[in-house]
Amino acid sequence: MMSLRTGARRLSTLTALSLTVFPGLTLAEQQSEQPDQAEQTAAPASTSDNGDRANVPLVPDTPTWDSFHGQLNAQKYSPLDQINVDNVGQLEKVWEVHTGDISDGSGDTPATVWSATPVVANDTLYIGTPFYKLIAYNPATGEEKWRFDTQSSREALTQPVLKNRGVAYWEADDPIEGESCQKIVYMGTMDAQLFAIDADTGKPCQGFADNGVLNVDQWNNVNSKFPLSLLQPPTIVGDHVIFGWAGKDWAYQEAPPGTVFSINARTGEREWEFEALSDEMRRKSGTANVWTHMSADEQNGLIYLPVSSPSPNFWGGNRTEKAPLATSTTALDVDTGEVVWSRQWVHHDIWDYDINAAPTLMDITVDGEEIPALVQATKMGFLFVVNRLTGEDVWPIEERPVPQGDGSVEGEVYAPTQPFPTKPAPLLDQSKKPEVWALADAVGFGQCSRLWDELTYEGMYTPPTTRGEGALAYPDSAGGVQWGGVAFDPESQTAIVNTSHIVQTVKLYNREDYDKADSGSGNESGFAPQEGAPYGMRLEVADNWLGMPCWEPPFGEIVAIDMHTGDIKWRKPVGASQQFGFFMPERWGSPTIGGPAVTAGGVIFIGASMDAKVRAYSLETGEKLWEDQTQAPVVANPSVYEYDGRQYVAFVAGGNTILKDQVGDQIAVYALPEDNE
């Protein structure tokens, strides 16, 4: 087993792939910024721990929805076709449950944000709740089999709300009959505890860590301002349980540095760890963590990390040296944690452009050549497409000059260029200020026009400023694309992604001005101190006094991309925005959180919108085929599964206060009427 600290130190993978891995840097510059200088070439990942790995297909042979994105490839694809474009309009709700774990934040308990994708394995549907309970249901009826309560504190330690994105499932290759914990469900908590629960009985696995609980915070030993919250379920590859952590956004200059851990599935023993920042930057900065799910290519022994930005998020004068693994997609050898390749998508990130979704792995044919590819969706509305084995461009990714600020922010050093994909085209036009929405401007008596005049904008990557009302960010922290990521139909080689069109304003304040201006914050908006830095900040949605967006609709779309060519096949507004109980026209679309699933029946399923509806669309045309109302916005990806010969689609209607103040505790499951199957 490798040294526990070698993951980041192995990034001297800078020979034949050097200029591809870190575009825009010379080889000498790349080598000079690494933690050590030991030469190493990019090599295929080890398969020493799994002799059968070469036989694992990228797309499972049987219908599978046993992880956060359905499968480790993050395609969110099901080969089931019982439900198809001809009959999906007949879908009916066949069962629903309410977990009881819900809070609107009006009492002593913080509001709940529930983004859990149901995991279906072992003839059971498993879910985690924002009160950190793990529940097992019969997938056909919703009858509860068991539940386990972690007894975790209901305190919002690192987030403004209570959050849970679900559970992870593992089972032994050769289960020992009569032995417990041959199948395990894992769930983390906000206070950094990882629980391993017997998937059959709901009882803790006594052989795992400390009687079934691993205290991950024992490894929080640099700038430990907050616990390493485990809100996202681990990624399970073979016997490796791999996870990052979530922290407190925008709060500190110095914060816990981003570390990814691999532990043994049975024992909880730490196997390796990966660090995205150099030792020097770890001490004076922090984060660059992985807070969302990962994807993996089991056949080639690679796990893909979507890495976030360093701290503080909107000022980088404390971290002016290059940090090429921050805001990146980084491929590791799953057995050792060694870096195989990495691509940085934002240099010197001062916009909180975390890579927030697992890259989607796919085999595509471009100009007659079969390519093992991945697509990395981003908050910027870019889709970067590279060879998943080498990190090389599929279509050219160009380094282009970007704005260099207005001189108002002391100590900042801006990256001269940023990567721009040539294909697919950006999901939204960031080249100029979005047009003011005349309706919102009229209702606001010119408020939106006045705001636009006070906002700096020089195109994509306009830096934060202290002047006027700040900089216009389109998009900024809200995305673009959120953690739902890209779905992919391997038959037609069509990628599906939903995107938000949101304008935000970001302004920096020196310490004296910040203390006067600070009027509090909400969920991913408002004022934040960036304690220790010379500047606090404010991030807000650009709207009028009535809460109407100041920019023209649509506010969200679903987009289909032909991955043979990188061209858009179709794009449609998705969902409907909602304010004060009124639904806006669907042609205006809705901001979206959560992603799509796609099936061999030619159907796309998605929730994600403000209006708390779930919908089905035609993969071929984008036509809406079906919809139903749920308790709250579905901000998790749906699950598509088969049980006893019947196909089901499951949605978690949990809500997210980023979209609107409507929360839920509903699992809603749909199928065709039995006489129509």
Can you read off the two tokens belonging to residue 523?
Answer: 């969920």
Q: Is 345:329 a contact under the CB 8 Å cutoff? A: yes
Cα dist from 422 to 398, 406, 456, whole Å: 7, 28, 26
| Cis check: omega of the bond before 424, within 30 degrees of 0 | yes
Q: How far apart are alpha carbons 33 and 12 in whole angstroms? A: 10
Only one residue has tokens 């690192």, namely 158
H-type alpha helices, 402-459: 438-443, 447-453
Which residue in 200, 352, 476, 665 is the catalytic one?
352
Q: Is 67:60 a contact under the CB 8 Å cutoff? A: no
Nearest to 262 by CA among 119, 13, 49: 49
Q: Indicate the SS3 state at residue 7.
A: helix
Is residue 149 annotated as a catalytic residue, yes or no? no
Residue 568 forms beta bridges with which residues? 561
Q: How far apart are alpha carbons 26 and 120 in whole angstroms? A: 47
Residue 20 forms beta bridges with which residues? none
Give me the amino acid identity at 127. I
Residue 193 forms beta bridges with which residues? 215
Q: How far apart are alpha carbons 611 and 595 in whole angstroms? A: 15
For 444-454, letters b (16+ CB in 10 Å) and e give: beebbbebbee
Q: How far apart are alpha carbons 308 and 255 in whole angstroms? A: 13
Phi-psi region of 407 (alpha: psi -120 to 50; beta: other; left: phi over 0): left
Only one residue has tokens 């995991």, namely 119
Only one residue has tokens 């696995």, namely 205
Is the sign of the CA dihedral 9, 35, 304, 191 positive or negative?
positive
Cα dist from 619 to 121, 593, 616, 622, whole Å: 27, 20, 9, 6
The Cβ of residue 543 has, within 10 Å, a number of other Cβ atoms equal to: 21
Q: How far apart are alpha carbons 266 and 439 in whole angstroms? A: 59
Using a 10 angstrom Cβ sphere, with 0-12 exposed, 13-18 middle and 19 or more buried, the burial of residue 510 is middle
Q: Which residues contact residue 495 at a Cβ distance below 8 angstroms, ignoring those fewer than 6 apart?
A: 360, 362, 375, 383, 424, 486, 487, 488, 560, 561, 563
Can you read off the two tokens belonging to residue 299?
Answer: 């056949």
Q: Give the CA diameter of the chain.
A: 72
The pairing of strands 162-164 and 144-149 is: unpaired
The secondary structure of 330-383, three-state, reads EEEECCCCCEEEEEECCCCCCCCCCCCCCCEEEEEEECCEEEEEEEEECCCCCE
| Cis check: omega of the bond before 63, within 30 degrees of 0 | no
Q: How far apart are alpha carbons 416 and 232 in whole angstroms? A: 34
Which residues are the active-site residues?
A: 352
